[in-house]
């Protein structure tokens, strides 16, 4: 059972160290860093204050896709409203959901850069928005504080429930879904359903549809097979 904390584009190394300490306080050990501005860094080590082992084991990658490639469920932290509605859970409900989904495969909570937060493109890879209720007049939390809040909720949820899961096939991973989305976009473009010069929100809405469906590996193979059949039928006409 794995719950990964992913920090995207962190600009202040002290926040990485403080987040690692927050994680270790609550028994979390899987940290991934996407394009950190400064890492490794002595300030990160100093702020970790006993959680240096998490920094030593942290995975550092260039893209969010790499950080969550093996995950079956991803929650993206956001305090901003979005043009397209995403499923949304507060920290407590998100923690319970992450714990439940982690019984099926790795799950991740993703936090964006300190100033801008996660982009819509980042959230395209997430199953839900994760919000931390705060005073609307001053709702911006420090990155490490946000990680601490979620880490605590995960710890509390873990001590109160032991989820079980049985399925015919494991859920599709984030990487497998990304391959499917690229295949789907190409086929939709080929059959002129999608205009590549004016895509609007079509692919984003389709992502939301399949995120709600939560396809397993067998179901995703069926969908990929349908797309391949469409490709073949076009080649013979």
More confident residue, 211 or 199: 211
Q: What is the pLDDT of residues 155-180, one digit of tens each?
A: 999 887 654 555 678 999 999 999 99
Rounded CA gap, 179 and 160, in Å?
Answer: 37
How many residues does this entry show for the chain? 237
What is the distance in angstroms between the CA of the first residue and the CA of the last residue of the chain? 49
What is the set of domains in the chain, with CATH numbers? 3-160 (3.40.1280.10), 174-235 (1.10.8.590)
23 token code pair: 């994680």
pLDDT of residue 81: 57
Is the pLDDT at 237 greater than 80? The verdict is no
CB-based contacts of 183, cutoff 8 Å, min separation 6: 224, 227
Across 11-26, average pLDDT: 97
Q: What is the pLDDT of residues 75-114, one digit of tens each?
A: 999 876 555 567 899 999 999 999 999 999 999 999 999 9
């Amino acid at each position: 059972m794995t719950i990964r904390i992913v920090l995207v584009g962190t600009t202040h190394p002290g926040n990485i160290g403080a987040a690692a300490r927050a994680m270790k306080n609550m028994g979390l050990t899987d940290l991934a860093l996407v394009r950190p501005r400064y890492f490794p860094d002595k300030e990160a080590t100093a702020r970790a204050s006993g959680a240096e082992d998490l920094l030593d084991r942290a995975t550092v990658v260039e893209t969010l896709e790499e950080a969550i490639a093996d995950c079956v469920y991803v929650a993206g932290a956001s305090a901003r409203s979005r043009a397209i509605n995403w499923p949304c859970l507060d920290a407590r409900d998100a923690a319970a959901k992450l714990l439940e989904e982690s019984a099926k495969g790795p799950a991740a909570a993703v936090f964006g850069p300190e100033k801008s937060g996660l982009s819509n493109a980042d959230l395209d890879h997430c199953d839900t928005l994760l919000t931390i209720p705060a005073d609307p007049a001053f709702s911006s939390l420090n990155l490490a504080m946000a990680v601490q809040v979620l880490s605590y909720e995960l710890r509390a949820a873990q001590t109160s429930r032991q989820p079980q899961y049985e399925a015919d096939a494991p859920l599709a991973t984030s990487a497998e879904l990304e391959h499917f989305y690229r295949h789907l976009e190409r086929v939709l473009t080929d059959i002129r359903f999608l205009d590549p010069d004016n895509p609007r929100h079509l692919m984003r809405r389709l992502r939301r549809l399949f995120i709600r469906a939560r396809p397993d590996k067998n179901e995703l193979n069926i969908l990929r097979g349908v797309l391949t059949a469409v490709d073949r039928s076009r080649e013979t006409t």
